[in-house]
Amino acid sequence: MRVFPLYVHCGISGFESPAHEYREIGLSLDQLLIRNPNATFIGVASGNSMEKVGIFNKDILIVDRARKARHGSIIVANYNGEFICKIWDEENNCLLSASDNQSPIRLSEGDVFQLEGSVPISVRQHDEHLNLAALINGNV
């Protein structure tokens, strides 16, 4: 857990604003969430196959290409031309969903598989009408 200091000015005199005594350090979500900025991209989850690990439809995925994916890592991969988010079962060479309704995907030599990166962080979108693409392009 990271602790961010909050500087408090304690020498209040006169009739200053009650909020004057508090000064927060500027925080950046980039600095909090992204460890490898040059190797990180953001995606949006689609579907409900990862709900048991806390990734829901339309959640934002922070995908880090520099972070080594290991057995059991949540990853984003290009699987036969489709970007998917799954749990990597390195020992059995398959991709697992976090759902009882979906079977493991066994990787075979005929499959096109490209590991894009691991997902150390996902961010929940509480506003179902939020359009991330429009937000990124400045159209919101």
Query: Is 110 a domain residue?
Result: yes
* 136 vs 4: which has the higher pLDDT: 136
Query: Is 132 a domain residue?
Result: yes
What is the predicted pLDDT for the residue at 10?
46
Average pLDDT, the chain: 83
Element of type H or E holding 29: helix 29-33
Whose tokens are 């988010």? That residue is: 85
pLDDT tens digits, 82-120 = 999 999 999 999 999 999 999 999 999 999 999 999 999
Rounded Cα distance, 116 and 76, in Å: 6
Domain span at residue 117 reads 35-136
Measured at the alpha carbon of residue 16, what is the angle toward residues 11 and 22, in degrees to the nearest 5?
Answer: 60
Query: Is 28 a domain residue?
Result: no
Query: Is 75 a domain residue?
Result: yes
What CATH number corresponds to the domain at position 74?
2.10.109.10
Residues with a catalytic annotation lie at 49, 86
Give the type of residue at 82: E
How many separate domains does the chain show? 1
Rounded Cα distance, 124 and 56, in Å: 7
Distance, C-alpha 91 to centroid of its chain: 25
Query: Is 25 a domain residue?
Result: no
Written as one string, the DSSP assignment of 10-26 is ----TT--GGGGEEEPP
Question: By C-alpha distance, which of 36, 119, 122 is closest to 77?
Answer: 119
Reading the block at residue 94, the tokens are 């398959």
pLDDT tens digits, 31-79 = 888 999 999 999 999 999 999 999 999 899 999 999 999 999 999 999 9
Question: By C-alpha distance, which of 51, 60, 32, 66 is closest to 102?
Answer: 51
How many residues appear in the chain? Answer: 140
Reading the block at residue 77, the tokens are 């991969």
Query: Is 30 a domain residue?
Result: no
